[in-house]
Amino acid sequence: MFTHHRCLLLVSPTGSGKTVIAAIIISFLLKNNKKVLFLAHRRELINQCSKKLDEIGIDHGIIMGNHPRKKPVCPVQIASVQTLTNRDKPDVDFIFIDEAHRSLSKS
């Protein structure tokens, strides 16, 4: 499932556990020494993902201004699409995009 640069899209209703599924996949990827970037378009979603990763015990950093969770050496980073448009992109093996349908939005 994770070879040959394939893409996977998970479509599911709000509150159905997409972030939990992403966290479980991230946990698997970390066991295989992979670097992961989780992108979201709103601070609320970034914080939600961070909380879920904390609950599962996955150490991570957040790329966002002077965020107190700035940890660039962590193999898992969470950021907003807007933040990364003005910064160097982290070197990662996998990218998760929360609400991917909004990633092409101008707002």
* pLDDT for the residue numbered 4: 57
Q: Is residue 87 part of a domain?
A: yes
Q: Is the pTM of this model over 0.85?
A: no
Q: Tokens 């979603």 — which residue?
A: 45
Q: How many domains does the chain have?
A: 1
Question: Residue 39: which domain range?
Answer: 18-101
Look at residue 33 and tell me if it is in a domain.
yes
What confidence tens digit (pLDDT) does each residue in 16-51 have? 778 888 899 999 999 999 999 999 888 888 998 999
Comparing CA positions, the residue from 82, 96, 83, 79 lying closest to residue 34 is 96
- Annotate 18-36 with b (16+ C-beta within 10 A) or e (fewer): bbeebbebbeebbeeeebb
